Structure 1
Amino acid sequence: MKRRDRIDHNAKNVMLSHVLRSWLILPMKRLPPLPALHTFLITAKCCNFTRAAEALHITQGAVSRQISGLEAHLGYRLFNRQARGLNLTAQGRELLPRIEQVFSLIEEALDQVDAKPRALQIKAPTCISRWLLPRLMQWQKERPDVPVRLTTTSAHTVDFRREDFDAAVVFGAHPGDFTHVQHLFDEQLTPVCSPSLPFSNPLSRLADLERHMLLHPTLDERDWTLWLKAARAKLSNVEQGQHFDTMDLAMTVASQGSGVAIGDWSLIGEDLSAGRLVMPFELRVRTGAAYYFVHPRGASIPSPLQDLLDWLSLQAAERRIG
C-alpha cells in the first residue's frame, strides 16, 4: 500500500469512528440492528413503504415494522406518516447522511477485502529468464497472495518515467540511477554444451573446441574472445561459429547438441542439475557486468514488492555461494 493510500485509508477509518460516535452515542445503549438501518436508508431515499419494499424484496408490512422498531429503539420518529406518503422528520434528515456514510464505508471495505491482489509488474532482460522464471513459479506457489507479471525484453535497462513497472532486473556494468538497487549476481562466462556432445566428439582439452561449432550469444564474438583470452587459448574457428540474438537462445541450442555455447554460470544452475547442460571446462570469467534488481527513484517499496525482493536476494545468494 502506497503512503498516500495508507493516509486515505487511515482518514476513512477516523471518519468512520467519528460517524459512529456522532450518531447514536447513547450511554449504555445497544446499537440498533444493521438491517433496520439499511431499511431506513432505502425508505428515506424514496419516502414510500411500497417502493422500499420492492427495492428490498420484502413485504410492505415488514418495512413498516422495521421502521417502527428502529424508531422505538432510538426514542424518536424518523418519518412523518401522511396520507400522501412519508417525509423525514428533522431527526431523520440529520441521521440520513451519516447512515449513508457508514454504509458507503462498509461497502468500500468489503470491496477491498474481496478484490484480487494487483499483480506486481516486473520487467527483466531475456538473458536472465533462465534463472528468473523457475523462481517466480516457485514464488507463486509459496505466495499466491502476491502475484507477479513478468515482461521480458532484449533491452538490458528500464526507464520508469516511460514504462509502467513496479520494479525491474537490469544488466550491465552499472545499475544506473535508481534509488533502490539490489545486486543479484555477476556475469561469469563459461562454455556449456549438451551432455551427449563430448561422447560424440571429445572435449577434454581446449584444443578440442576446434572440432565443435561455437555458438555466440551476440552478433560479435566478444564473449568467446574474452573467455579464450583468460584461458590463454587461440582457436581458428571462432569466426565460423553461429551467432544468436540472446545468450538464452545460444544456450538452448547448445542443450540440443548443436555446438558449444558461451554461457553464464550464474544462470544455469537448474540446467546443470537437470542434466540439460554440462560445463566441459571449470574456468569461469567475470566480465564486470552484473544483474541488479531496481525500483523507481523516489518511491517507497510496497511491502509485497519488498517480500519478493528479499526472497529473490536469498535465491541469488545461494547461487553466488555455489
Structure 2
Amino acid sequence: MKRLPPLPALHTFLITARCCNFTRAGEQLHITQGAVSRQIAGLEEHLGYSLFHRQARGLSLTEQGQALYPRIEQAFDLIGDAIEQVSTRRTPLQIKAPTCMQRWLLPKLMQWQTLRPDVPVELTSSVQHGVDFRRETFDAAVVYSPAPGPKREGQHLFDEQLTPVCAPHLLQGSAAINSLLDLEHHTLLHPSRDQRDWNNWLNAAGGDLSVIRHSQYFDTLDLAMTVAAQGNGVAIGDWSLIGDDLKAGHLAMPFNFKVPTGAGYYLVCPPRVEPSAPLQALMTWLLNQAHSTLEPVR
C-alpha cells in the first residue's frame, strides 16, 4: 500500500479546491500564499500527478483534482463527525451506595436515565455504609450515618424509620398478623446478625423478641426484603427505602407503627470539589425524589 500523503497537505488541498486561489486559501488557513503553493506542489509530487491548472487568472482543478476533491471532502467530514461524537459523549457519573439503598435508589436512577439520557450514571453497591473519597474515585455517594461525617458536605435524603413488612397474603385469612402476639407464629427475618432492628422496633412497640421461636438471618436488607416478599417470614425494614415495594403491593405493613432510629441517609460529594453541572442536576433530582416520599412518623 502506498504511503498516504500528510494530512495537513490534504487539508490545504481541500481549502484551495474550494476557492481555487492560493491567496484566499492562505487567508483561511492563516498561512502565506507561498506556503499554500509549496504544500500543493509537495502533495502533487507525492501523488505523481497535478491537481491544479495554474492559469493567469487563477486556478482550476485538473481531472485528477476533480476526482479527488469530493473524496477528500467526505474524509474530512467523517473526521469532524468522529471528533464531535467523541467530544460530546458523556462520561458516566460514578455513584456509590450501600446495598440497603438499592431498592430505593436503583429504580430512581433508571427513571433518571429515561429523563436524562445525556447524563449516564453507574451505580456501585457495597456492604459498607460510608465512603472514603481519598481512596475511592466516586463523583458522589449515599451514606448511612447519624450525621454527615467530618469535613463532608452532606445533603439529607431521609431518616431511617423501622417497621415490619411481609407478603400481602400474610395479612389475610385465619393466620393473619393482627397483633404482636401473632408474630410468634412466623419466622422473623433479620437484615443483620445482631437482631438490632427487630429489638429496637419491638421494644418501642411493647413486644419481646425472646418469645419468637423462629428467626432467619441475612447479610443485607435487600435479601431480607426479597424473602419477605416471597411470603417466607416477616422482615424488619426501613419504610423510607421500601416505599416503592409497598405502593406496588409487593410488600405490606402489618402494623401502622414506625420507629425512627436517629440514623439517616445522606448524599455526599468529595470535599472541596464543586459538583459538575450534570452531577448537581442529578443530586437535586434525587433530593426532590426523596423528599416527595416522606410522610410524618406515626
Q: TM-score range by the shorter chain?
A: 0.7 to 0.9
Q: Does 1:120 align with 2:93?
A: yes
In 2, Cα distance between the equivalents of 1:239 and 1:214?
A: 9
In the TM superposition, what whole-angstrom CA distance separates every residue of 1:243-282 from its partner, at most 9, and x where no partner exists? 1001111111100000000011001111111110000001
> Which stretch of the first structure deviates more once superposed, 280-289 or 44-53?
44-53
In the TM superposition, what whole-angstrom CA distance separates every residue of 1:70-117 from its partner, at most 9, and x where no partner exists? 9xxxxxxxxxxxxxxxxxxxxxxxxxxxxxxxx9xx979954774311
Contact 1:207-1:235 at 8 Å conserved across structures:
no
Q: Does 1:254 align with 2:228?
A: yes
Change (3 A) 1:283 1:112: same
Q: How does 1:45-194 map to 2 (within 5 A)?
A: 48-51=42-45, 60-62=50-52, 110-111=83-84, 114-194=87-167
In the TM superposition, what whole-angstrom CA distance separates every residue of 1:272-298 from its partner, at most 9, and x where no partner exists? 111100000011001111000000011
Shift of 1:241: 0.5
In 2, Cα distance between the equivalents of 1:250 and 1:303?
A: 37
Q: Which residue of 1 aligns with 2:169?
A: 196
Change (3 A) 1:232 1:107: same
Shift of 1:120: 0.3
Query: Between Structure 1 and Structure 2, which shows a larger proportion of helix residues?
Result: 1
Change (3 A) 1:50 1:154: same
In the TM superposition, what whole-angstrom CA distance separates every residue of 1:226-248 from its partner, at most 9, and x where no partner exists? 00000011244447410100111
**Percent same amino acid at aligned positions?**
51
Q: Does 1:231 align with 2:205?
A: yes
Q: Does 1:213 align with 2:187?
A: yes
Shift of 1:321: 3.5
| Count of matched residue positions in the alignment of Structure 1 and Structure 2 | 252
In 2, Cα distance between the equivalents of 1:153 and 1:136?
A: 17
Change (3 A) 1:42 1:129: farther
In 1, Cα distance between the equivalents of 2:82 and 2:268?
A: 33
Change (3 A) 1:44 1:165: farther
Which ranges in structure 2 are unaligned for 5 or more consecutive residues? Answer: 1-22, 61-75
RMSD: 3.3
Three-state SS of the structure 2 residue aligned to 1:254 is helix
In 2, Cα distance between the equivalents of 1:47 and 1:161?
A: 57
In 2, Cα distance between the equivalents of 1:69 and 1:113?
A: 37
Shift of 1:196: 1.4
- Using the size of structure 1 for normalisation, the TM-score is 0.70
Which ranges in structure 1 are unaligned for 5 or more consecutive residues? Answer: 1-30, 71-102
Contact 1:117-1:147 at 8 Å conserved across structures:
yes
Shift of 1:180: 2.4
The one of 285, 291, 294 equivalent to 1:311 is 285
The one of 245, 270, 276 equivalent to 2:250 is 276
In 2, Cα distance between the equivalents of 1:142 and 1:125?
A: 24
Three-state SS of the structure 1 residue aligned to 2:293 is helix
In 2, Cα distance between the equivalents of 1:109 and 1:155?
A: 41
In 1, Cα distance between the equivalents of 2:144 and 2:267?
A: 9
In the TM superposition, what whole-angstrom CA distance separates every residue of 1:154-190 from its partner, at most 9, and x where no partner exists? 0000001101100100002122124421100001000
In the TM superposition, what whole-angstrom CA distance separates every residue of 1:7-41 from its partner, at most 9, and x where no partner exists? xxxxxxxxxxxxxxxxxxxxxxxx94699749988
Three-state SS of the structure 2 residue aligned to 1:149 is strand
Change (3 A) 1:111 1:257: same
| Matched residue type, 1:202 | A
In 2, Cα distance between the equivalents of 1:293 and 1:135?
A: 14
Q: Which residue of 2 aligns with 1:14?
A: none
| Matched residue type, 1:303 | A
Change (3 A) 1:144 1:208: same
Runs of at least 4 residues off by over 6 Å: 38-43, 106-109
In 2, Cα distance between the equivalents of 1:51 and 1:38?
A: 23
